[in-house]
Amino acid sequence: MTTQSAPGKVILFGEHAVVYGRPAIAVPVMEVRASVSVEDAPPGSGCSINAPDVGRTFRLADVPSEDPLAAIVYETLTHLGVSEPDVTITIRSTIPIASGMGSGAAVSTAIARALAAHLGRPLDDDTVSALVFEVERLHHGTPSGLDNTVIARAQPLFFVKDRLVESFAVKSPLHLLIGDTGIPCLTKVVVADIRAAREARHEQYDSLFRQIGQITVMARGAIVAGELNALGALMDGNHWLLYQMGVSSPEIERLILAARQAGALGAKLSGAGRGGHVVALASKETQEVVAEAMLQAGAKNVISTVVS
């Protein structure tokens, strides 16, 4: 049996603007993971997929090739140039679904890695990321590529679509609290809405994207210098621009307000918005009270992670 896994992710800066060529910063969330095992099945039985967390068990041949779980299997087999093997693929994940934490990309990453390794042809991170990107394209329309890249590399990244992927040093640990609004984050819908809004109000949206890009560059500097107060203020600034873009919601605002009032250095929505999750920057001393405040304000769950 071959087992591989991949972490969740959270976007710290630059969502939406990244689709239009501005930089973004995302970090892996190691506390939540997708894990995939591949084992040999009897000869002639083909490939079966088992995803007990979402109540699905099926044979590869019985679902459309665009099914997200099937699509990454086909992408991987095509890349390796091999035909359908006799294997059982079992998927487990602790990453919340449809909350903007990269659950789909992490599951795809773990499947590609585990399947290729089981077939004796392990893949490097960039190849896995490219295969996962193809599947993201099927389901998200015009993804920037940020999710698949940060999940495959499992390190904090400064990312510019089609141009730049850089890791950087984190001087002081970042104590992050990720609060789930419990409202599904429909990335494809929100990204399409922003595209339509930009077509109608080009100047306004390009100005928002440009300001987000500037904040993201400053945020990288603050992380490298360990200036956490400045970093928190930049998160607040990025959130205000996302709010003006129309991707916040009353539930998101409640969690952000609660986190700030409980002493967070900054807080913002993360991912496509409207639902999904909020990320707050706390300190070691304040992290528990900030998490508790977010729960009191209606968060369905709060994940605590430290980026260092």
CB of 62 to ligand PMV, least distance (A): 28
CB of 98 to ligand PMV, least distance (A): 9
**Residue whose CB is nearest to ligand PMV in the complex, by number:** 271
| Rounded Cα distance, 130 and 246, in Å | 31
Enumerate residues 88-117 that contact ligand PMV by CB under 6 A: 100
Q: Which of 125, 147, 193, 206 is catalytic?
A: 147
144 makes contact with ligand PMV (CB under 6 A):
yes
16 makes contact with ligand PMV (CB under 6 A):
yes
CB of 242 to ligand PMV, least distance (A): 10
Longest dimension (CA), the chain: 61
Q: Which stretch binds ligand PMV (CB under 6 A): 10-18, 49-57, 169-177, 293-301?
A: 10-18
CB of 180 to ligand PMV, least distance (A): 12
What are the backbone angles phi and psi of residue 262, rounded to the nearest 5°? -85, 5
3-state secondary structure of 216: helix
Q: How many CB atoms lie within 10 A of CB 236?
A: 17
Both structure tokens of 151: 């999940």
Both structure tokens of 219: 């945020």
DSSP β-ladder status, 87-93 and 47-51: parallel
242 makes contact with ligand PMV (CB under 6 A):
no
143 makes contact with ligand PMV (CB under 6 A):
yes
CB of 186 to ligand PMV, least distance (A): 9
Is residue 86 annotated as a catalytic residue, yes or no? no
129 makes contact with ligand PMV (CB under 6 A):
no
| Rounded Cα distance, 104 and 71, in Å | 12
State which of residues 38, 272, 293, 303 lies at the interface with ligand PMV (CB under 6 A): 272
218 makes contact with ligand PMV (CB under 6 A):
no
CB of 191 to ligand PMV, least distance (A): 5
- Name the residue nearer to ligand PMV (CB basis): 7 or 100: 100
DSSP state of 10: E
- Name the residue nearer to ligand PMV (CB basis): 88 or 187: 187
State which of residues 73, 87, 111, 146 lies at the interface with ligand PMV (CB under 6 A): 146
Q: Where are the beta strands (DSSP E) in the chain?
A: 2-13, 24-40, 47-51, 56-59, 87-93, 157-160, 164-167, 174-180, 266-270, 277-282, 301-307
Task: Give per-residue burial for 18-51: e unless 16+ CB within 10 Å, then b.
Answer: bbbebbbbbbbbeebbbbbbbeeeeeeebbbbeb
State which of residues 147, 215, 238, 259 lies at the interface with ligand PMV (CB under 6 A): 147
CA nearest to 102, candidates 63, 57, 135, 54:
135
Q: Which stretch binds ligand PMV (CB under 6 A): 9-17, 36-44, 83-91, 250-258?
A: 9-17
Both structure tokens of 201: 């109000």
DSSP state of 102: -
179 makes contact with ligand PMV (CB under 6 A):
no
Q: Where are the beta strands (DSSP E) in 139-217?
A: 157-160, 164-167, 174-180
State which of residues 11, 131, 255, 258 lies at the interface with ligand PMV (CB under 6 A): 11
Residues with a catalytic annotation lie at 147
Residues lying near ligand PMV in the complex (CB under 6 A): 11, 15-16, 18-19, 100, 143-144, 146-147, 185, 187, 191, 271-272, 276
